Amino acid sequence: GENVEQHPSTLSVQEGDSAVIKCTYSDSASNYFPWYKQELGKGPQLIIDIRSNVGEKKDQRIAVTLNKTAKHFSLHITETQPEDSAVYFCAAGDFGNEKLTFGTGTRLTIIP
């Protein structure tokens, strides 16, 4: 089955700086890679996703890059703001399959 590793487990960034979270996956058949944000006391919420037919996707301050050869993908948050503080999860799966495997999460803290 799929195995997703996520690093770092915690990340503190000065407000306004950039944050990068990295994930690797094991199953070369995986072709769908979403990122979820979980705020305190809430359920995870999708913030961005990417499919294997593209190498990069951007949505305002958030971008995701994918390297299929190396089987890793990353989340980039630029110009970080206090409201970016949360736990972020990457996930990998087969688009069209019902099962996503989640990474272990990264607790991001933005320092004002």
* Residue 107 Cβ vs other proteins, minimum distance, rounded to whole Å: 8
| Token pair 């999460």: residue | 105
CB nearer other proteins, residue 52 or residue 78:
52
Q: How many residues of this chain bind other proteins (CB under 8 A)?
A: 26
Cα separation of 36 and 46, whole Å? 4
Instruction: Pick the binder of other proteins from 5, 8, 61, 95 (CB under 8 A).
Output: 95
* Residue 93 Cβ vs other proteins, minimum distance, rounded to whole Å: 5
Cα separation of 37 and 108, whole Å? 10
Residue 35's Cβ-count burial label (10 Å; 0-12, 13-18, 19+) is buried
Interface contacts to other proteins, rule CB under 8 A: 32, 34, 36, 38, 41-46, 49, 51, 87, 89, 93-100, 102, 104-105, 107
